[in-house]
Amino acid sequence: MKNQSTPTPLPDTPTPTTSGDAGTPGGGGGGGHEQATASPRRLAALLPSRGSSSRGTMAKRPGVLWAAALAVVVLAACTAAAAAVTISRKQHHRGGSSASSAARSCAPFAASGAWVVDESYPLYDSARCPFIRDEFACARFGRPDTMYLKYRWHLDAPCAQPRFDGAALLKMWSGKTVMFVGDSLALNQYESLLCMLHAAAGPGVRTSLSPASGKIDPSSTVRFEDYNVTVVYYLTHYLVDLVTEASGRRVLKLDTIDQARDWLAADVLVFDSWHWWPRTGPTQPWDYIQVGNTVVKDMDRTQAFTKALRTWASWVDANLVHTDTKVFFQGISPSHYRGQDWGASPKKTCMGETRPLNGTTTGAYPGGPIPQQAILRGVLAGMAKPVYLLDFTYLSQLRKDAHPTKYDGGIFGGDCTHWCVAGLPDTWNVLFYAALTGQD
């Protein structure tokens, strides 16, 4: 990762008081479609542990009694405060943090922050990353501006800035499999991480891609041979099962998740869903929805999403609660097709946008929060297995400038859903690394 220069704040945002997320020499991101493995060192625990305290023995003399009593009161207050901090962090990791607890926490996704210009960015040269698909390769297809590459998410004081050390991550993951499971937004983060790891590994790094064509059916794997690290992308739009019956009828089964057996080999799992749930018409890949023995032509999509999330959560709790597998869930990635969401004309989209929105506190996005994010938080909060919510929704809402738009090789055209690589997903991975290594 490049050394970072002094960041330049956006207009109307506070000047940072601490240095940025400087990486180590050679650190950075690399992308790929194969599995990667790292050192047998265990990943940092997701949840903080509570410290224990011991009680002193009361003396008999009145003066000593008074001092001892005062000490007990102080100790009780300190213990309560420590417990409150522990709870707030646990709630964040489990997806249930409140605004007040987030304000007190420096966990990577709980702390408030702002986008600042950092001339040391981007973290890698996308032209040298062999893993970026056309739909994310904005520079390859002629995007003329480069400022979208120069923004770094800067946490407000007193929080330390998250750091990314790709070389350390490769060592940490030696012998391990990391799997991204979900739709094309999971693919976005996967390819960014591959680029960051590829840059960190340096010239001459040996990687293998399976299948060699790079086709995702249903998965694609990149392996960093010199580190024994495997990184996998597994395509599933809904997490639950989508089956084609003998009659040709396509059925989305909200209460079955047989495909999940393919995920059990992973040491680190990163899930996402929602992007495909609202789809209707020709782009909807199912004909019916089934729950138990009940088959319906359609239902409220948020309700269906909630049922599917609960099925996924039940599978995680049944299969992973007693394992060392680390489980993460992406916050819902925003799109920018409606200008009124950021105070512009309703007909405005992300096309032609070259600067982020100004914003420094959670909830400042004019369009408001994404409702399904609250549903996701609620499901995660009720799980037995700790699941870390990679809650990058708000900081991504501010990045109306970071989409491929028309620079996607003609695949979508006017794309305000996905993100350029290099670009915003690199920040997701900086914060993902901070969560993995306990930088809070």
**What's the CA gap between 427 and 155, in Å, rounded?**
12
Tokens 């004909």, residue located: 287
- pLDDT at position 177 is 99
pLDDT band at 404 (very low <50, low <70, confident <90, very high): very high
Exposure string over 386-417, b if 16+ CB within 10 A, otherwise e: bbbbbbbbbbbbbbbbbbbbbbbbeebeebbb
- pLDDT at position 438 is 87
pLDDT band at 111 (very low <50, low <70, confident <90, very high): confident
- pLDDT at position 65 is 40
Report the percentage of the chain scoring pLDDT > 90: 68
pLDDT tens figures, 144-179:
999 999 999 999 989 988 889 999 999 999 999 999
Q: What is the mean pLDDT of residues 318-341?
A: 97
Q: How many helices (H) and strands (E) does the chain have?
A: 8, 14
Which residues have C-beta within 8 Å of that of residue 36, sequence separation ≥ 6?
170, 173, 177, 178, 194, 197, 222, 223, 224, 227, 229, 230, 231
Tokens 């997903």, residue located: 425
Report the percentage of the chain scoring pLDDT > 70: 75
- pLDDT at position 74 is 38
Which residues have C-beta within 8 Å of that of residue 382, sequence separation ≥ 6?
313
pLDDT tens figures, 1-41:
444 444 444 433 333 333 333 333 333 333 333 333 333 33
Structure-model confidence comparison of residues 354 and 92, the more confident one: 354
Q: What is the dihedral of CA 140, 141, 145, 150, to 10 degrees?
A: -40
pLDDT band at 84 (very low <50, low <70, confident <90, very high): very low
The reported pTM is 0.78
Examine the pLDDT at 46 and tell me if it is beyond 50.
Answer: no
Q: 67: which 2 tokens?
A: 């001092």
**What's the CA gap between 276 and 40, in Å, rounded?**
36
Q: 117: which 2 tokens?
A: 């210009």
pLDDT tens figures, 345-395:
999 999 999 999 987 555 578 888 999 999 999 999 999 999 999 999 999
* Mean pLDDT, the chain, whole residue set: 82
Out of 4-13, 108-117, 254-263, the most confident range is: 254-263
Give me the half-sphere count of Cα atoms (radius 13 Å) on the Cβ side of residue 367: 21
Residue 408 phi, psi (nearest 5): -130, 25
Q: What is the mean pLDDT of residues 126-130?
A: 97
Examine the pLDDT at 419 and tell me if it is beyond 90.
Answer: yes
- pLDDT at position 109 is 83
Q: Look at residues 337, 333, 190, 156 and name the one whose alpha carbon lies nearest to residue 268.
A: 190
* 312 and 253 Cβ atoms separated by less than 8 Å: no
Residue ranges per structural domain of the chain: 30-42+111-436, 62-102
- pLDDT at position 285 is 97
Diameter over CA atoms, the chain: 88
pLDDT band at 440 (very low <50, low <70, confident <90, very high): low
3-state secondary structure at position 249: coil
**What proportions of the chain, in percent to the nearest 5, are helix, strand and coil?**
30, 15, 55
pLDDT tens figures, 175-205:
999 999 999 999 999 999 999 999 999 999 9
